[in-house]
Chain A
């Protein structure tokens, strides 16, 4: 086996995995708290990327320096994606909180379809080139042939975001309230947790991480269009389920496993069937281990 090729695939899988992880975190948090597959999550990520693209082009033409462009356009992406996440929850999910789960799921699918076509109509159906927002770090120069600055930035950001989120959920007051809501919503209400506020907050955080993912992946790939959210969303969902949906370290672990398997599969077997493989993986996991790697299986009670 060619070692260098192997290392290349390994690092490629790592980058892929970190991007999936940023999206999967939002999925897993939302699912953990209201047991809903937020189909529109991939679209939030796409909107984040679009906002960053628009903001950075406007700021470039205004003539700001590089650093402020990166900071401001990432900030815009995060703010807008969170705002969209918040609004979606208010409009499409909150009125259905006591409805059957199927209704909420259909509503989520509708929202996803709507947002995709909203961006398509308001912007364009073409692929837009996305200028990389991440500068080339000088200290990375010696390793440039194995791993680029963008990849390193993605990897580090993912790890930081994961640690921050874990800390948020483990050690803060609001994190405690989130865990309480996830365990038993009614009981949480009884002990004085404002459940509506907590759910909104979860959507805000999940959407913000998706937006960060959007900015990074768009910088990495170099182009975006209105459709990128769907496939990324599905794959991130696969990752979240693989790791055990509802668990934050699980989402990251699942994303890396999916990133590596995809990378090695395309590298050694065939690149035509890359997406088939991802879907097959999803079907097999859900059938054989629906609780995921780190999840615990629950038995349904009457």
Chain B
């Protein structure tokens, strides 16, 4: 049954990998691929698509296609960095809580409880508005609001691993806590952590887009969310320009976010013991 699953999931994971590679190439070779500098006014404002401007121009005459290509840099970079920071922090807290137990555990778990109750986007808006709008501020804000889920699940997994017979046996023959944590517990939790890294990358793409759309992104960096912000305040939906000004950035966001998710699903087959037992087939 497990084999069957992985067979069904493999094409999806490959699709995810292809999506991510396309965006990676776009981000790395942006100056080569983009026909114009996205920060320069290179055409008449509000032009429709034409040979010169594949996706037309925006409200101040910047080439939307070039903006789109440069936008992949911010989205991809931010997603990866945020995923590493927030999953790293969450996993660390989860490991510490699960392994040490007692006071430390209850304090950490109370904090994650609190974070999980709070509505994440309003909190992100508040923090982003007050911290200012640099790239690293955005990474910080998104990490602050998204570490808690990872911490909780990693802790649960650590507790389960700790209860396994072999850990107990190792302790009996004198294995120290640091050795156990490093050699066994961390390794058993690692697949789950990689899965969560993909999940947070996928979420980070969406949250960044939302914040940029609300005017909280960095005005100096092109981002898909900020393209949509200008499309919204210039009422692109009321004219035909939504077809080239609104649709492409939105699809880019969706595909990038889904790309991370598809790979994540595949990793989950390794991370989630339930799947191994064939209880959940997809």
Q: Does B bind A? A: no
| B interface list, Cβ under 8 A from A | none
Q: Which residues of A contact B (CB under 8 A)?
A: none
